[in-house]
Structure 1
Amino acid sequence: MSPEQTMDKLKKMHLSAMADAYGRQLADLTTYRQLCFDDRLAMMVDHEADVRSTNKINRLINSSGMYFKAACPEDINYDPERGLDREQLARILDCSYIAKGQNVVLEGASASGKTWLSCSFGVAACRRGYKVRYYKMRSLIDELMVARAALDGSYQKLISQLKKTHLVIIDDFLLHEVSAEDLGELLELVDARLLTGSTILCSQYQHDGWVKIMGRTPISEAFMSRIKSSSHVIRVKTVDDMRMKNSALL
């Protein structure tokens, strides 16, 4: 069998990266002939595995809907004024909280970088093979309500998909007024995903003031009970933190 035929068969077996690596070896025989067969084969297999891993990560990131798909965990700004704890973020970036079904609350004033930071957590999760889904709070509630109103099984299908999603990021939490019906939808989602996945909530308000913003009702208290019982709270500070100060007075 000729090298060209070998490469064609590799591609037909969906081993294109391995075929490319083989082609590079053929183009530089002076270098690769010095290696034994096992070493050359291992290099081709490693290249195939690396490309497949990279492609899987890219698919997970692209399908996540994250606002900042290029948010890189290595680029997190640890400027002292932001008040970020490196050790705490290291525990988040290793994604052990997802394996434990825990949640993350990101608090910070507008333009403090919460969205970018949440997306960097999402990218870290994708790198570890976890499925991630990003929503603005209002869009998530609307999608749940539309699916429920369809009466064709869409709601059950959506909930099933979200139960299989390892990490759900909800941005702009409480940015808009929420009704009792809105809270009911969120509570059902949190209950459905309890112990099966993790949630990141990004809010301009301190979580201790959420119940008063939502209204002190059995639903809001039940929601907070689910979230606070297993959440890592990260406050992103800014020079102008008035919204956060005001929320603490609620």
Structure 2
Amino acid sequence: MLTHPTHERLITLGLTGMAKAFEEQRRSPDLDALPFEERVGLLVDREAAERDTKRLTTHLKFAALRQSAYVEDVDLRRRGIDRSVFARLDGGDWIDRNENLLITGATGLGKSWIACALGHKPAATIVRSSITASRPVRSAALARGDGRYGRVLKTIGRIQLLILDDWGLSVLNPPERRDLLEIPDDRHGRASTILTSQVPVEHWHDVIGDPTLGDAILDRLVHNAHRLQLSGESMRKQNARNQTLDANSNP
């Protein structure tokens, strides 16, 4: 079948959504009865939908969320989360206000999953990043040696929602403390950060390892932060037990 020149022209102009809708209308004689304005409206709607999909795909790619998690899949009851609190966090107003979120609890409770779920929904409108807590500190340390220090800190500071996963797994050394102070200092009041940690907030001073810098760092991270304290049994243990029961139930 020969390609209609209008279809080719739409593709050349980058209007791929309209091109697809144009071909669908050509193959659907029932649409001939629609008024001209409605048929053009269908073309425009399809183009808008295509662009929204591309925009979301691009933002999710840059976001680099570590898990494909969605708030609809979060089991609040098994993690001891108040439904009304989670609904407010899901609304995202705290991101608009450049506030932080601290998610704490024992290993296996799904802290990273919940962080990615809350970071996924707004990805249609803002670019975010999900990284381990040690990576920005390590990047800053490497950048200090080759003259990129200021540029790296500026890049981290511009991320609208930064997810720092597994915070507090090891005590910081002096250069790491200074780098960690720079990161929340650049972001304070300008962007939001989600931190997940197995360590209770009241013990974070011990992880930082310096009382003075600890006060400065936590002042920028904690005082404008919402908190989710997870409880319950490890999700990994529950899932492993369920798999064992399923296997045993098979004939």
**TM-score interval, normalised by the smaller of the two chains:** 0.7 to 0.9
Q: Does 1:226 align with 2:220?
A: yes
Q: Tell me the alpha carbon deviations over residues 93-120 of structure 1, each in whole angstroms, 9 at most, x when there is no partner.
A: 2221111010000001111101111111
Contact 1:138 1:176 in 2 (8 A): no
Q: Does 1:90 align with 2:87?
A: yes
1:216 Cα shift?
A: 4.5
Q: Tell me the alpha carbon deviations over residues 97-154 of structure 1, each in whole angstroms, 9 at most, x when there is no partner.
A: 1110100000011111011111111111203x11101111122211111112111xx2
SS of match in other structure, 1:33: helix
TM-score (normalizing by structure 2):
0.87
Q: Does 1:81 align with 2:75?
A: no
Instruction: Quote the Cα distance in structure 2 between the aligned partners of 1:208 and 1:163.
Output: 26
Instruction: Quote the Cα distance in structure 2 between the aligned partners of 1:161 and 1:63.
Output: 13
Instruction: Quote the Cα distance in structure 1 between the aligned partners of 2:37 and 2:184.
Output: 51
Q: Matched residues, percent identical? A: 25
Query: Runs of 4+ in structure 1 displaced over 3 angstroms?
Result: none
Match of 2:199 among 200, 205, 209: 205
1:231 Cα shift?
A: 0.3
1:3 Cα shift?
A: 7.8
Runs (5+) with no aligned partner, structure 2: 235-251
Q: Does 1:123 align with 2:117?
A: no
> Residue 217 of structure 1 aligns to which amino acid in structure 2?
P
The 5 A counterparts of 1:13-32 are 13-30=13-30, 32=31
Contact 1:108 1:238 in 2 (8 A): no
Corresponding residue of 1:61:
60
SS of match in other structure, 1:205: coil
Match of 2:132 among 136, 158, 168: 136
Corresponding residue of 1:100:
97
The 5 A counterparts of 1:185-204 are 185-204=179-198
Corresponding residue of 2:168:
174
Runs (5+) with no aligned partner, structure 1: 241-250
> How many residue pairs end up in the alignment?
234
Contact 1:135 1:169 in 2 (8 A): yes
Instruction: Quote the Cα distance in structure 2 between the aligned partners of 1:43 and 1:56.
Output: 20
Instruction: Quote the Cα distance in structure 1 between the aligned partners of 2:54 and 2:186.
Output: 30
CA RMSD of aligned residues (A): 1.8
Instruction: Quote the Cα distance in structure 2 between the aligned partners of 1:185 and 1:118.
Output: 23
Instruction: Quote the Cα distance in structure 2 between the aligned partners of 1:167 and 1:44.
Output: 35
SS of match in other structure, 2:131: strand
1:34 Cα shift?
A: 2.4
